[in-house]
Amino acid sequence: MAAKPEALSIGVLHGPNLNLLGRREPAIYGTRTLPEIDARLTQLARDLNVRVETVQANEEGALVEAVQRMSERVAGFIVNAGGYTHTSVALLDALLAVDLPFVEVHLSNIHAREEFRRKSLLAPRALGTIGGFGPLSYELGLRALVFHLRRDD
């Protein structure tokens, strides 16, 4: 009997303050909590025959370390860098160093917000950016990344 092919693994990075979802500025970020978002992503991953591994960190260095650590077992990343989207050269460098594709996601439409939020350091090197659809942004990002990874299959 042939071995079942191993499912793709996708890393999901949640940046600072996303652990407060559900109570943090619900008019902007909605009422769904991070565990609820992760549960929906896990279910969607099963439907797509992939696995997701999620991590949330408020510290920039912890996100960099997560990228490095996870890169040994994932095929790509879904990244909501939160406030680090606009400031973290270190996170961008980590993503570039591991040379894996990533999709940038945002719950809100960063281009419709304050001027300082409109510039992403990650976007120019991401496969794409999805934002403004609340938690659905993560699901769309996962679908897009899986499509990209499988398009040559």
- Residue 42 Cα to chain centre, angstroms: 13
**CB proximity list for 89: less than 8 A, separation 6 or greater:** 121
Catalytic residue among 14, 84, 86, 106: 106
**CB proximity list for 31: less than 8 A, separation 6 or greater:** 22
Structure tokens that stand for 122 in this block: 């990650």
Catalytic residue among 14, 29, 84, 138: 29
Q: Do 76 and 149 touch, CB atoms closer than 8 A?
A: yes
29 is catalytic: yes
106 is catalytic: yes
Catalytic machinery residues: 29, 106
